[in-house]
Amino acid sequence: MSGYLFAPPKVHSVPVKGETEEYPINRIFCVGRNYAAHAAEMGGEVDRDAPWYFTKSPTAHVASDTTVPYPPGTENFHYEMELALVLGAPVFRADETEAKAAIYGYGCALDMTRRDRQQDGKDHRRPWDLGKDVENSAVMAPLTRASDWHPEGQRIHLEVNGETKQDATLKDMVWTVAEIVSHLSRFYHLSPGDVIMTGTPAGVGPVVAGDKITGGIDGLDPIALTLGDPE
Ligand code: MN
- Spacing, Cα 31 to ligand 1 middle (Å): 7
The tens-digit pLDDT sequence of the chain (231 residues) is: 689 999 999 999 999 999 999 999 999 999 999 998 888 888 888 878 999 999 999 999 999 999 999 999 999 999 999 999 999 999 999 999 999 999 999 999 999 999 999 999 999 999 999 999 999 999 999 999 999 999 999 999 999 999 999 999 999 999 999 999 999 999 999 999 999 999 999 999 999 999 999 999 999 999 999 999 998
Question: In terms of residue numbers, what domain contains 139?
Answer: 13-228
**155 domain-assigned:** yes
Residue 220's identity, in one-letter code, is: L
183 C-alpha vs ligand 1 centroid, how far in Å? 18
Q: How far is the CA of 57 from the centre of ligand 1 (A)?
A: 14
Nearest CA to 112 out of 91, 133, 96, 98 is that of 133
Instruction: Tell which residue, 17, 100, 111, has the closest CA to residue 55.
Output: 111
Give residue 4 CA to ligand 1 midpoint distance, Å.
35
Phi, psi of 176 (to 5 degrees): -75, 165
Cα 82 to ligand 1 centre (Å): 7
Provide Rg for the chain, Cα atoms. 17
Sheet architecture: strand order including 77-79: 113-114, 77-79, 205-206
Cβ atoms of 86 and 27 within 8 Å: the answer is: no
3 in a domain, yes or no?
no
Residue 150: give its domain's CATH number: 3.90.850.10
Sign of the Cα pseudo-torsion (167, 173, 178, 180, in order): negative
Q: Is 160 a member of any domain?
A: yes
Ligand 1 center–CA 8 separation, angstroms = 29
Read off the pTM.
0.97
Residue 7 located in a structural domain: no
Ligand 1 center to residue 94 CA distance, Å?
A: 24
Residue 76 lies in a domain: yes
State which H helix or E strand residue 195 sits in.
strand 195-197
The pair phi, psi for residue 211, each rounded to 5°, is -75, 145
**How far is the C-alpha of 137 from the C-alpha of 226, rounded, in Å?**
12
Q: What's the confidence (pLDDT) of residue 1? A: 64
Give residue 91's pLDDT. Answer: 98
Residue 161 lies in a domain: yes
Q: What is each CA distance from 143 to 15, 107, 222, in whole angstroms?
A: 6, 5, 10
Number of domains in the chain: 1
Q: For residue 210, count other CB atoms closer than 10 A to its CB.
A: 11
Q: How far is the CA of 30 from the centre of ligand 1 (A)?
A: 6
**Interval between CA 199 and ligand 1 midpoint (Å):** 4
pLDDT value at residue 46: 83
**In this structure, is residue 197 part of a structural domain?**
yes
pLDDT of residue 223: 98
Q: How far apart are CA 186 and CA 190, in angstroms?
A: 9
Distance 33 CA to ligand 1 centre (A): 8
- 5 assigned to some structural domain: no
Q: What pLDDT sits at residue 24?
A: 98
Closest CA to 203 of 153, 163, 175, 174: 163
Q: Is 120 helix (H, G, I), strand (E, B) or coil?
A: helix
pLDDT at 2: 80
